[in-house]
Amino acid sequence: MVAGALLLSLLVAPLAWGLQSPSAGGAPAPILSGPDLREVFERAQRALAAKDYPRAESGFKEFLKLDPNSAAAYTNLGVVYLRTGRFAQASRALETAKKLDPQMVGVDLNLGIAHYRMQDFRRAIPYFQRVLAADPNSVQAHYLLGMCHFMLREYAAQLAALEPIRDQGKDDLDFLYMLAIAYGQLKRSDESMRTCEQLVRVGGDTPHLHLLLGKVYLDTYQNAKAENELEKAVAGDPGLPFAHYDLGVLYQRLGQLDKAAVEFEKEMQISPDEPWSYESRGTIWIDAGDADRAIPLFQKALALNSKMPDSLAGLGKAYFRQGSIEQAISYLNRAIELEPGNGSYHYQLGRAFLKTGQRAEAQKEFALQQKYQNEAREKQEEQISGKLPAPTGPTP
């Protein structure tokens, strides 16, 4: 779910002229001055303030030709890239700024945002943590750090980040939604219920509210309630992003695959730049034995987000069925790099190794499959029944 109103502005203010920084080697940068150089920087800065991003970009690049050690110019160029959706370029520019001036204010926040927007949540986390170490009251850093942990399903860490700003988020639907999910996943039922009640008070009877409540129930496996809320969401707004996708996930969970496929296809029309429906529809095709129809859907998902292990594994499974075993092995290895603890991936890779006569490698993969499946089963049992306390010795 997209972050809500708490984010306000994702970007720090651009840096002003006059900030000098050390060179990469640690020696002081040459102090460049003069009206011409100042005018180049300030002209680019005015263009950035006016949201004239092409002129701002060319201006900061021109300045960097004159002063290649300017952390301020690299930072502002990174801001241009962030605001124009070029997040990998933003990361490179901001990393350069950070090397030139490790103490510059705002670089860590923007680096975190760049990785967050690339959906590289694990890499974003340390940057937001550094922001909070310097400014524990940064609402923006708390929110984004919580979002990263939420996307990684690290619910205890998510609450540690979000609970300190609960007062600021009490009227934000997406914020309350994330809290409700985390409380539910951690079996803090009373707090989850109170948060859902707050969601209803804030959201009213709107499709967006029904979507959020449906997602809460979906993630906590309250399937009947999830279906009721998600159907209300799509009835109230058939074009609401993510509503058809979540309804498709529910139908898929319930084994109603024809209905799930319809919902995923609707979501593709509504949100063509989101990869999840392509992946889910491809999974239904591959499970039905139709590799030819599954492959382009997994490829589309990966074109939108290259770090989707289920799509990589889906391609591996599809190519295995087509007899392209080397391609299958390649894609399955890439999936395992992203999610090494997934037993299913290891099982599929083991089958592919068997097909090529690599029996020893296959046995290693099957052993890993068993190990990770056992760990997953134990974790599930622990979540259902609660972890038993460690045994204690007799009382003296």
Q: What is the pLDDT of residue 25?
A: 30
The whole-angstrom separation of Cα 33 and Cα 149 is: 45
Provide the token pair at 65: 């030709």
The total number of residues written for the chain in this structure: 396
- Give the Å distances, CA to CA, from 261 to 150, 216, 253: 27, 22, 12
- What is the arithmetic mean of pLDDT over 321-343? 96
How high is the mean pLDDT of the chain?
A: 86
Statement: 1-118 belongs to CATH 1.10.287.70 = no
10-52 pLDDT per residue, tens: 444 455 544 433 223 322 233 345 557 888 899 999 999 999 9
In a 3-state reduction of DSSP, which class is residue 181? Answer: helix
346-373 pLDDT per residue, tens: 999 999 999 999 999 999 999 999 999 8
User: 0.85 exceeded by the pTM?
Assistant: no
Q: What is the pLDDT of residue 385?
A: 52
Task: Give which of 94, 154, 135 is closest to 118, Cα–Cα.
Answer: 94
Which string of b and e fits 158-181 if b means at least 16 CB within 10 Å? Answer: bbebbeebeeebeebbbbbbbbbb
Q: Is the pLDDT of residue 133 over 80?
A: yes
Phi, psi of 307 (to 5 degrees): -110, 55
What is the DSSP secondary-structure string of 90-118?
A: HHHHHHHHHHH-TT-TTHHHHHHHHHHHT
Q: What is the pLDDT of residue 203?
A: 83
Provide the token pair at 186: 């951690």
